[in-house]
Amino acid sequence: MVNVAVLGYGTVGSGVVEVFRLNQSRIDKCAGTEVRLKYVLDLRDFPGDPVQDIIIHDFEKIVGDEEVDVVVEVMGGIEPAYTFVKRCLEAGKNVVTSNKALVAAHGSELLELAQKKNVNYLFEASVGGGIPIIRPLNTSLTGDEIEEITGILNGTTNYMMTKMFYEGADYDAVLKEAQANGFAERNPEADVEGYDACRKIAILTSIVSGQQVDFEDIYTEGITNITKEDMKYAREMGMVIKLLAMMKRDREKVEAIVAPFLLPLEHPLASVNGVFNAIFVHGNALGDAMFYGSGAGKMPTASAVVADIVDAAKNRHKNLSRYWTGQKLTLADRMEVKRRYFVRMSGCREDMQASVEESFGHVDYVTVEGLDGEFGFTTDVLTEGKMKTASSKFDNIIHMLRMDE
Amino acid sequence: MVNVAVLGYGTVGSGVVEVFRLNQSRIDKCAGTEVRLKYVLDLRDFPGDPVQDIIIHDFEKIVGDEEVDVVVEVMGGIEPAYTFVKRCLEAGKNVVTSNKALVAAHGSELLELAQKKNVNYLFEASVGGGIPIIRPLNTSLTGDEIEEITGILNGTTNYMMTKMFYEGADYDAVLKEAQANGFAERNPEADVEGYDACRKIAILTSIVSGQQVDFEDIYTEGITNITKEDMKYAREMGMVIKLLAMMKRDREKVEAIVAPFLLPLEHPLASVNGVFNAIFVHGNALGDAMFYGSGAGKMPTASAVVADIVDAAKNRHKNLSRYWTGQKLTLADRMEVKRRYFVRMSGCREDMQASVEESFGHVDYVTVEGLDGEFGFTTDVLTEGKMKTASSKFDNIIHMLRMDE
């Protein structure tokens, strides 16, 4: 018998309780033992809810109970989650979490502690919600050097980009609608500024490199400047615009970035629409692969949490993986990263053509019917540094977008 | 140190050797020990090839060598692979395979033997080539009841369906082209008749149900009757035609089928084109997920084989999973399975309308410009039995296709 305590009866916590209610026999079978929810920690009471019988308000009761083998941290945020997780690991308990902020901020320390105590700190639900990605990276892609991970890792912004692309809607209107439908928070900053996706790609890059990647080091640009006019250019070029969280390895240099990208319609990520998430992986033997599913939501996230509980139950006293060390990875200098760019300029193409080509080199022009007084062009492959220098010579750039192929 | 012997230096076997050459340090790191190729068994010699130093011609040398921990069976076919695998497992060696025919035919016996000997019989590469699906099903989707698996599991036929749909090409022309490009065998039967996909869905259904599913019990229909006219109807309806291998569970009844299906363009599988494979999974907590990648080919398949070698190296004396027992699963009676259908009939719709609706109930008509002297219609949800009875009253049915939504 394995006893589980859940810290926090919010969206994910209540999802975990529901998955146990629905799938108890499947869970026990997969774990090879009976897995029982013993406690749910919350400040509140839930009279009438079946969970009330196991609700407790005192964390000490969990950390001090030797019967508790697995602790599920689904409180979110840094504190008190960080302190609680550390104390549970120190007490020799396995910890399962969906808390990407905590994993990104203190992952290497907590992973080291888990290893020292010969238990596990598992966080499948912290990236891509229900999509299995962390365990596959760690146990299925072990024969490959992973050269690229590009993810649509935020459902809110993908919903917004999809609506803007397919329905020609305005950013502000789409954000309001997403908020009304519960797909976006009242304060949408963490989503639309790319902060959420940034923490997730920091975690994936840490796993792939085996070293600590500080999310603060990852250049992050949100979608707040994307307009329906940008979408028109994208459509004209047979592309879509997606907020991508990307890591690429070029020999020993690892690049990581979060930004809206132009992506060809044929790319597997281009047809990932609405609130769905997907993670595209390129391995040097595997080639291209993609993992797709619900990146958030109560039940999908709980599904991933429960899978980690099962893994912890099967390996209570065996550390499965350190994932990454505390050694910090220095990311590639952004100014040296090479790619193609799309630029929108106000003015008349004929007047500007000579100076554009002098600064940007060879370009291909794009015009969209109905968008007068402006034009667009795509560059050849340039370093971001070269791009910045070229752009600085113009005061009529409306918008610049990176391109991925 | 873990020693590996590879049985067969064909396409996959040489891929495995190449992945070791490319990624030796990554493999050792993931396995936590040095993993070394000790022997490659083949009837031929390969003078000048670096593998020549470890080529042997006598299987007894492998099975009798106590240093060999992991045997990779990439010979294909039933014999002598079956005898060799059994003898290796009996000798206490882990076996890794890409041989779907053997897994589908003798999986439960070999899995039982591996469990008895406390070693592993691993076969990630047998379904979906490089796509991680068997390990994720077994270790990541453990909190879910899997209610559906629908796969595009054969690259050859998906290449053909894609060409026929997007380029309006003829079946015969596309087959010839696929053969010329090396995407189809000279004898394409195993692919185009659905036999290959059938073995793969038998393996996946066995894993999900935990019981033996005999591939002979799975109704299997190939793509040989699909015409470019069918593709025109599909396009008219906003759908594509794909060869799907499907298992669905309705309470305790499990249905399995391989057949060409009409699929809405919005379905995640609809945009899986060319030789790519994908496996769509629906779990009762997870919701919809999809795993996408190269379903065949030397390096992707070798990538999956090597991942299994790493897993076996990490768990040399610990059986990870029985996957399924020898207890046979009785599949749902096909005649009782319910779905929608699309029917093409010759003749004039106005003349036929009354008798069509009398037999099939409510239908929606589809007409395609330029296809004269015929019409199409889609039915409501019917059992396959009801459909068969209704169809038997007409001798002017050109083609019937199942629909998935």
Q: Tens digit of pLDDT for each residue in B356-374?
A: 999 999 999 999 999 999 9
Distance set, CA A5 to CA A18, A31, A36, B176 (Å): 14, 16, 9, 61
**Which pLDDT score is estimated for A60?**
98
**Percent of chain B residues topping a pLDDT of 70:** 100
- CATH code that applies to domain B335-403: 3.30.70.260
Q: Cα–Cα distance between B276 and B268 in angstroms, integer? A: 13
Pick the CATH number of B2-130+298-314 from 3.40.50.720, 3.30.70.20, 3.40.50.300, 3.40.605.10: 3.40.50.720
Distance set, CA A128 to CA A247, A294, A301, A378, B40 (Å): 15, 7, 8, 31, 40
Give the residue range(s) of CATH 3.40.50.720 domains in chain A: 2-130+298-314
* Residue B259, C-beta contacts closer than 8 angstroms, at least 6 positions apart: B194, B219, B220, B221, B243, B244, B402
Give per-residue pLDDT as tens, B42-88: 999 999 998 999 999 999 999 999 999 999 999 999 999 999 999 99
* DSSP assigned state of B158: H
Give per-residue pLDDT as tens, A126-135: 999 999 999 9
Which is it for strands B374-379 and A374-379: parallel, antiparallel or unpaired?
A: unpaired
Q: Among A145, A283, A294, whose Cβ lies nearest the Cβ of B287?
A: A294
**A336 SS3 class:** helix
- Asked if the model's pLDDT at residue B390 lies above 90, the reply is yes
Q: Which residues of A touch B140 (CB under 8 A)?
A: 124, 132, 135-136, 304, 307
A228 given a catalytic annotation: no
Residue position matching structure tokens 């989503």: A191
**Which pLDDT score is estimated for B250?**
85
Give the residue range(s) of CATH 3.30.360.10 domains in chain B: 135-293
Give per-residue pLDDT as tens, A333-343: 999 999 999 99
Give per-residue pLDDT as tens, A54-107: 999 999 999 999 999 999 999 999 999 999 999 999 999 999 999 999 999 999
- Asked if the model's pLDDT at residue B252 lies above 90, the reply is no
Check whether the bond before B80 is cis (ω within 30° of 0). yes
User: A139, A279, A301: best mutation site toward chain B, by most B Cβ within 10 Å?
Assistant: A139
* DSSP assigned state of A347: S
Q: Cα–Cα distance between B94 and A67 in angstroms, integer? A: 36
Give the length of chain B: 405
Give per-residue pLDDT as tens, B125-148: 999 999 999 999 999 999 999 999
A31 and B142 in contact by Cβ < 8 A? yes
**Which pLDDT score is estimated for B65?**
98
Q: Which residues of A touch B288 (CB under 8 A)?
A: 293-294
Query: B317 falls in which pLDDT band (50, 70, 90)?
Result: very high
Give per-residue pLDDT as tens, A2-59: 999 999 999 999 999 999 999 999 999 999 999 999 999 999 999 999 899 999 999 9
Positions of B annotated as catalytic residues are 200
Show the tokens assigned to A405.
């192929």
Please work out, in degrees rounded to the nearest 5, the angle formed at the alpha carbon of residue A18 by the alpha carbons of A12 and A20: 110
User: Once rounded to an integer, what is the mean pLDDT over residues B387-399?
Assistant: 97
User: Once rounded to an integer, what is the mean pLDDT over residues B220-240?
Assistant: 98
User: Once rounded to an integer, what is the mean pLDDT over residues B116-124?
Assistant: 98
Q: Cα–Cα distance between A185 and A177 in angstroms, integer? A: 11
Query: A250 falls in which pLDDT band (50, 70, 90)?
Result: confident
Check if the beta carbon of residue B46 is closer than 8 Å to that of residue B55. Answer: yes
Q: Cα–Cα distance between B383 and B361 in angstroms, integer? A: 12
- Asked if the model's pLDDT at residue A251 lies above 90, the reply is no
- Asked if the model's pLDDT at residue A182 lies above 90, the reply is no
Show the tokens assigned to B116.
């008895």
Show the tokens assigned to A242.
């997606």
B289 and A291 in contact by Cβ < 8 A? yes
- The alpha carbon of residue A37 is apart from the nearest alpha carbon of chain B, in Å, by 14
Amino acid at B192: V
User: A96, A98, A142: best mutation site toward chain B, by most B Cβ within 10 Å?
Assistant: A142
Q: Among A22, A288, A299, whose Cβ lies nearest the Cβ of B287?
A: A299
- Asked if the model's pLDDT at residue A405 lies above 90, the reply is no
Q: Cα–Cα distance between A104 and B5 in angstroms, integer? A: 41
- Asked if the model's pLDDT at residue B182 lies above 90, the reply is no
Residue position matching structure tokens 């010839």: B176
Q: Which CATH class is domain A135-294?
A: alpha beta
Q: Which residues of B touch A26 (CB under 8 A)?
A: 142-145
Q: Which residues of B touch A285 (CB under 8 A)?
A: 15, 18-19, 22-23, 130, 299-300, 302-303, 306
- Asked if the model's pLDDT at residue A252 lies above 90, the reply is no
* DSSP assigned state of A371: -
User: Which residues, listed in sequence order, are joined to residue A152 by a DSSP beta bridge?
Assistant: A278
ipTM: 0.96
Q: Which CATH class is domain B135-293?
A: alpha beta
Catalytic annotation, pick one of A100, A117, A163, A200: A200
Give per-residue pLDDT as tens, A257-289: 999 999 999 999 999 999 999 999 999 999 999
